[in-house]
Amino acid sequence: MSKAPHLDDKKLLVGKINGFFGLQGWVKLLSYTDPRKNILSYQPWYFLSDGVYEKIEVTNGREQSKTIVAHIKDVDNREQSQVFIGKDIYIDKEQLPKLNPGEHYWYEMIGFEVINQHNEKLGVVDYFVETGSNNVLVTKGKKEYWIPYIEPFLISTNAETKQIIVDWDEDF
């Protein structure tokens, strides 16, 4: 997942409109959801316009080869869809499925303090990266650390104290 701006406690960045698809107003999407096509299951979408969230209603969407495409209501040609190119797509966080106790969405852990098993502060969670084999937690502090977000490196996550304990040497 790329770095996501957190402008509103009730909205979550889930993707970006990054191009045209065809001549009838369809657009290509860069989805930050997992799996990618899940972006189509959240409605409505919002984008920022002069600091204000505006609603986007999607009438249709699908996977198309290696991308996701969507049709925005009342947008029927390339000229009309031009205004949306480059816009970030947000949803209401309440649309996300509820997780089991002890599970967390990545966005919830941004800003958590990361401490190693020797009680040394490594920094705070800046973002996560999907590498294919495992996810990686990236911290910012005196130094940037890329810590595999899997056992045995991940010891515990505590949402109440906003801390993640890892088995990671400060000198790595």
* Residue of 51, 37, 128, 54 whose CA lies nearest to 89: 54
Give me the pLDDT at residue 7, please: 53
Say if 11-94 and 106-166 have the same CATH topology.
no
- pLDDT truncated to tens, each residue of the chain (172 aa)? 334 444 567 999 999 999 999 889 999 999 999 889 999 999 999 999 888 999 999 999 999 988 999 999 999 999 999 999 999 999 999 999 999 988 999 999 999 999 999 999 999 999 999 888 899 999 999 999 999 999 999 999 999 999 999 999 988 8
Per-residue three-class SS string for the chain: CCCCCCCCCCEEEEEEEEEEECCCCEEEEEECCCCHHHHHHCCCEEEEECCEEEEECEEEEEEECCEEEEEECCCCCHHHHHHHCCCEEEEEHHHCCCCCCCCCCHHHHCCCEEEECCCCEEEEEEEEEECCCCEEEEEECCCCEEEECCCCCEEEEECCCCEEEECCCCCC
Give me the pLDDT at residue 34, please: 84
Tokens representing 6? 């957190």
Give me the pLDDT at residue 8, please: 64
Domain locations in the chain as residue ranges: 11-94, 106-166
Give me the pLDDT at residue 1, please: 33
Give me the pLDDT at residue 169, please: 92
Give me the pLDDT at residue 131, please: 85
pTM for this entry: 0.79
Give me the pLDDT at residue 132, please: 81
Query: Topology of 106-166 in CATH?
Result: SH3 type barrels. (2.30.30)
Query: In the CATH scheme, what architecture does the domain 11-94 have?
Result: Beta Barrel (2.40)
